Structure 1
Amino acid sequence: MNPFDLISNAGRAREIATVLIRNGFADLLQRLEPPAGWMRRFVPAPEAHLNTWERIRKVLEELGPTFVKFGQILSMRPDVLPEPLILELRKLQDRVAVQPREAMEPVLRAGLPRPPEEIFSEFDETPVASASLAQVYFARLRDTGAAVAVKVQRPGIRATIEADFEILEWFAHQAHRRVSELRPYNLPGIMNELREGLERELDFRIEARNADFFNYQNPAPEEVFAPRPYEELTSRTVLVMERVTGRKLDSFEPGSEMAVSLAQTGARSIFHQILVSGFFHADPHGGNIVVTDDGRLCFLDWGLVGQLTRRMRYTLVDLFGAFLQGDSGQVVRIAMDLGRASHTSRDIRHMEREILFALRETLNPATGKGQIGRALLRLLHIFGSYDIEIGQDYALVAKAVLSVEEVGTALDPDFNLQSSFRPAVEALLRERRDPMEMWRAFRRSLVSGVARLQDLPAEMHRVLRSFEEGTATINFQHRGLEDLDEAINDASNKITVGVIIAALIVGSSLILTTDVRPHLFGFPLIGILGYLLSGVLGLWVVFDILRRRRR
């Protein structure tokens, strides 16, 4: 998106700029080189008593539900964002006005296979929950009488997100080019991931399939479950699921027998999902959990899940064991294998020291006590700062562990995370060390290796043939030339404007030698206007050159 594209979203862009400046980010906005005149128009005083991370959260909250959702998704990237910002983004709350039923009706009708009155015998007018992307209503099915919850996407939310994304992508590219401190975070890449994540959350069919899959492989339905979706009534914009009622976790007395039991049950389930099943709820905070009347835990909102392969789960257990023992060297070796990165021995020593310091600050390996979730966040951020890309699913694991730790501690002041994930670790180790499983893994590797050997002659022949025919190509990728490319474009634009100015001056001079009417002060008006236009363009070029030189 170039600056001229901002015109189509001028109102929203102006609002974003105003909020940024009001919260103390005028210097950052100036470095992004926004269209001329913005900085003079928006000069409200910032709130100086907030730190940088709090101001970022405040900016997102002020900009509305779309940006709140952006922040919530960003909080799942501890590998690229610092821990204090991750913790602050987790405080983001949806503060959105409830849409009236009349506004939601077109979306509801378009998303159902039949008219609502044919499907539901009852449908509440007032939503029981309202978030940035959707509202939830209670209803009752006409054919079976079953009580259901209906999640309806907000009207126009896709268009709103698309417009905000155009502006955000412009900011991200400008920041990546012009703010060297932000370059390591690869903001354009993060924006692409945000867009993909939101696209998945906006498709309610994915959420229905996720909940259904969890119930299918859940080993303890008597303890935990997900609402059963009605897939035949579900579409991209409407989700019909089993109605689940009960108590929120914060309604239980901390330290009570019931609260302690719920903390253990929830933690065991999440770690079983992560380490044994490899399919887990990625955001199990207190607001997404309900305790039913029969004492079962219900995990709500399956729009965001993580998935781990068998190899990823084995590596994750090794990583857990290394950092719980305080073995920074082993943590680094596992991280290098995860990211397939190559670093000098000096980089490795620096990384080991940073990891050791982070572990000692958040965890006591001798007693196993400490903040394991925060320790994981710190580890992933250190990995990211050394260009070790570990994959989003590991980042989702860290976020899920942090949520479990926070919820568990709120329910049970003596909550011990290690005792909660030990059963899942032991189950995974039994699977990993099982002789039959080891034999199956060896057989799979052997078959795969033989297949590659069989393909090797054909692949070698293909490569040699391409050289023989002269069709072999070598691709080179230049890096770090963004500033040069921008400088060339800027120079080309100035040369073009200079040629236009020269043409205006020559043309106006020729017109002044004629008697073309109308006249002004005895000279042809068209010639005078040509001189004035060339003068304005010339002053603009001089001003732009001086402005860039000051920077």
Structure 2
Amino acid sequence: MTLASIRRGYQVLRTLLQFGLDKAIPAQQRPWSLRLIKLCLFWIRDQHPGMHNGERLKLAMQALGPVYIKFGQMLSTRRDLLDDDWAEQLAMLQDKVPPFDSALARAAIEAELQAPIASLFDDFDDIPLASASISQVHTATLKSTGEAVVLKVLRPNVEQQILADLELMEQSANMLNWLLGDGNRLRPIEVVADYRATILGELNLKLEAHNAVRLRNNFIDSNALYIPYVYEDLCFPRLMVMERIYGIPVSDIAALKAQGTDLKLLAERGVELFFTQVFRDNFFHADMHPGNIFISKEHPHDPFYIGLDCGIMGSLNDDDKRYLAEVLLAFFNRNYHRIAEVYLDSGWVTSDTDTQAFEQAIKAVCEPMFNKPLNEISFGHVLLELFRTARQFKIVVQPQLVLIEKTLLYIEGLGRQLYPQLDLWQTAKPFLEQWMAEQVGPKAMYNKVRANLPSWSDKLPELPELIYDNLTMGKKLLGSQQQLLDRYIKHQRQLHKSNYLLISSASLLICGTILFNQQATLWPAIVCLSVATILWLLGWRSRPKNRKF
């Protein structure tokens, strides 16, 4: 550990203690090691007595800076780990930081382009359009076409800062895990590993550009989602150039109402977009918070979404998609047994789980949800409660499902903010039922055959030879199997004969011994013992010698 890392570690620890986060753990549950650390740092006092624990954590994250702000935002989605009041406080964290010097921005852009900005762009604005913890956005126009564009550039040395903070977070997570024990609910090592994968994906703007192009192509003819055009030849690991868009932030409800936007249609399209991305394309935007979503100003009676920031994308394998759809459908059909079966079949819980106990636990959690109207039931909270319940039965953590849950919560929150009466089930059920029918019905079989037809047609000329080879091999195999069977039958017959003679010999031996002990006439005893000896010799000699087949 470097000196800088030690200093940063002390700064983090001091901040946490200044906000009294050690008091978030009940006194009777605080390990002795944590009390010892607090005692050794006796001069650091809680400066916010009486404040709610969730608010303490939010303010501490803000004080620690951009990397921790994004960490807090990610934590706000892990409601399987945090209580709702903690998660709601962290959800209020805003990723807004002061812009860095425009001269540094110019230098970073020209270093990636390996050319002066003026040679490719006109009207470059030194005042950034937006500034966040990882990147900064400037506007300009393309010199070649005059089209309005935005240039997204990483902050100077942001990679080193993030990697240093990640190293410290990992060390802190290991220490916290040791303090709280391996069975603790927070699971800090897993949470930090999840965050590491997320934030490192945002550090490569070339990857983000590829994601945006793929998502744009998936919805190229859609009237529900628009992804700005990306100038791929001007994109690099630390620079991304894309079309400038002019929309209304999705959180600005007043502006949307003022232009007469059909909010009900917009909310329903948001739900459809989520399920289309997950189930049709298997490629979904996993960072759909309000800052990344705008609404078109054109034709407000037929509105569409504009999606930005494709740094974090998710996908599911075919099995997970089917299991997820089955869980949601089974929930609304109140088929709790099927939910338990899906969790076991998928491997989301261990195979030794008590199915009946798991089913009853699911029913106890889900059944009360039906006391309210369907349009008030949250898909995201259904998954959340199911994962919480499954945690009691040693659920196997699925990172891709955490992304799904987070994205679904975002979509539902946005949808109901736009149109509070949104009935997600009415919107999603037909989509899920149709998708499931396509996966398991005749249409699914037809699609699989059609998908494999090119491969099969290539092998068709080889089919006669393959059939002949297999029949020849089968004949040889059957012949060898018949020989083995004949040898086995012969072996069993010999064994049966030998056992019969030996058992008879043993019986006569017992009879002869009894007659001999009675001290009567000896000749019957002698006959019995003699015959027993002959039978034993015959039985022993008739035993099969070869016991291998």
Give the TM-score normalised by the residue count of structure 1: 0.73
1:279 corresponds to 2:287:
no
1:280 and 1:141 map into 2 onto residues whose CA distance is: 30
Distance change in 2, residues 1:183/1:129 (3 Å):
same
1:149 and 1:361 map into 2 onto residues whose CA distance is: 49
Distance change in 2, residues 1:364/1:271 (3 Å):
farther
User: 2:136 is paired with a residue of what secondary structure?
Assistant: strand
Distance change in 2, residues 1:79/1:338 (3 Å):
farther
User: 2:93 is paired with a residue of what secondary structure?
Assistant: coil
User: 2:262 is paired with a residue of what secondary structure?
Assistant: helix
Q: Deviations over 1:499-524 (max 9, x none)?
A: xxxxxxxxxxxxxxxxxxxxxxxxxx
**Once structures 1 and 2 are overlaid, which stretch shifts more, 369-378 or 161-170?**
369-378
Q: Deviations over 1:266-325 (max 9, x none)?
A: 221122112222111112232211112224310111111111233322211101112223
Distance change in 2, residues 1:264/1:352 (3 Å):
same
Q: Deviations over 1:129-161 (max 9, x none)?
A: 111111111111111111111111111111111
- Partner of residue 437 from structure 1, selected from 422, 444, 458: 444
| Equivalence for 1:19 | 15
| Equivalence for 2:435 | 428
Distance change in 2, residues 1:243/1:106 (3 Å):
same
Distance change in 2, residues 1:312/1:343 (3 Å):
closer
- Partner of residue 398 from structure 2, selected from 391, 395, 399: 391
Query: Does the 8 Å contact 1:373/1:405 carry over to 2?
Result: yes
After TM superposition, the structure 1 = structure 2 runs for residues 238-257 of structure 1, keeping only pairs within 5 Å, are 238-253=239-254
| Equivalence for 2:310 | 302
Query: Does the 8 Å contact 2:21/2:53 carry over to 1?
Result: no
1:154 and 1:38 map into 2 onto residues whose CA distance is: 39
User: 2:151 is paired with a residue of what secondary structure?
Assistant: strand
| Equivalence for 1:315 | 323
Query: Does the 8 Å contact 2:224/2:305 carry over to 1?
Result: yes
Q: Indicate the RMSD between aligned Cα atoms, in angstroms.
A: 3.3
Gaps of at least 5 residues in structure 1 are 449-453, 455-551
**Once structures 1 and 2 are overlaid, which stretch shifts more, 404-413 or 32-41?**
32-41
- Partner of residue 389 from structure 2, selected from 382, 386, 389: 382
1:262 corresponds to 2:266:
yes
**Once structures 1 and 2 are overlaid, which stretch shifts more, 403-412 or 20-29?**
20-29
Q: CA deviation at 1:405?
A: 1.2
Q: CA deviation at 1:433?
A: 4.1
| Equivalence for 1:204 | 205
Query: Does the 8 Å contact 1:231/1:240 carry over to 2?
Result: yes
1:336 corresponds to 2:332:
no
Amino acid at match of 2:321: R
Query: Does the 8 Å contact 1:325/1:365 carry over to 2?
Result: no
1:389 and 1:293 map into 2 onto residues whose CA distance is: 45
| Equivalence for 1:409 | 416
2:347 and 2:32 map into 1 onto residues whose CA distance is: 33
Amino acid at match of 2:181: S
Distance change in 2, residues 1:77/1:57 (3 Å):
same
Amino acid at match of 1:270: F
Task: Name the structure, 1 or 2, with higher relative contact order (CA <8 Å, separation 6+).
Answer: 1
1:442 and 1:85 map into 2 onto residues whose CA distance is: 50
Query: Does the 8 Å contact 1:72/1:92 carry over to 2?
Result: yes
**Once structures 1 and 2 are overlaid, which stretch shifts more, 385-394 or 72-81?**
72-81
Q: CA deviation at 1:235?
A: 1.0
Q: Deviations over 1:86-106 (max 9, x none)?
A: 444322211311212023233
- Identical columns (%): 26
Distance change in 2, residues 1:204/1:427 (3 Å):
farther
Amino acid at match of 2:345: D
| Equivalence for 1:215 | 216
Q: CA deviation at 1:410?
A: 1.1
Distance change in 2, residues 1:443/1:407 (3 Å):
closer
Amino acid at match of 2:324: L
User: 1:144 is paired with a residue of what secondary structure?
Assistant: coil
Query: Does the 8 Å contact 1:363/1:369 carry over to 2?
Result: no
1:20 and 1:411 map into 2 onto residues whose CA distance is: 37
Distance change in 2, residues 1:56/1:425 (3 Å):
same
| Equivalence for 2:3 | 7
Q: Deviations over 1:207-234 (max 9, x none)?
A: 1111111111226433311111111111
Query: Does the 8 Å contact 2:288/2:410 carry over to 1?
Result: yes
2:33 and 2:77 map into 1 onto residues whose CA distance is: 26
Q: CA deviation at 1:38?
A: 8.2
| Equivalence for 2:293 | 289
Q: CA deviation at 1:62?
A: 1.6
1:163 and 1:35 map into 2 onto residues whose CA distance is: 27
After TM superposition, the structure 1 = structure 2 runs for residues 215-234 of structure 1, keeping only pairs within 5 Å, are 215-218=216-219, 220-234=221-235
2:182 and 2:378 map into 1 onto residues whose CA distance is: 29
**Once structures 1 and 2 are overlaid, which stretch shifts more, 209-218 or 305-314?**
305-314
Distance change in 2, residues 1:219/1:434 (3 Å):
farther
Distance change in 2, residues 1:367/1:231 (3 Å):
closer
1:223 and 1:65 map into 2 onto residues whose CA distance is: 33
Q: Deviations over 1:361-395 (max 9, x none)?
A: 54548746423322222222333443322522221
Give the TM-score normalised by the residue count of structure 2: 0.73
After TM superposition, the structure 1 = structure 2 runs for residues 469-488 of structure 1, keeping only pairs within 5 Å, are none
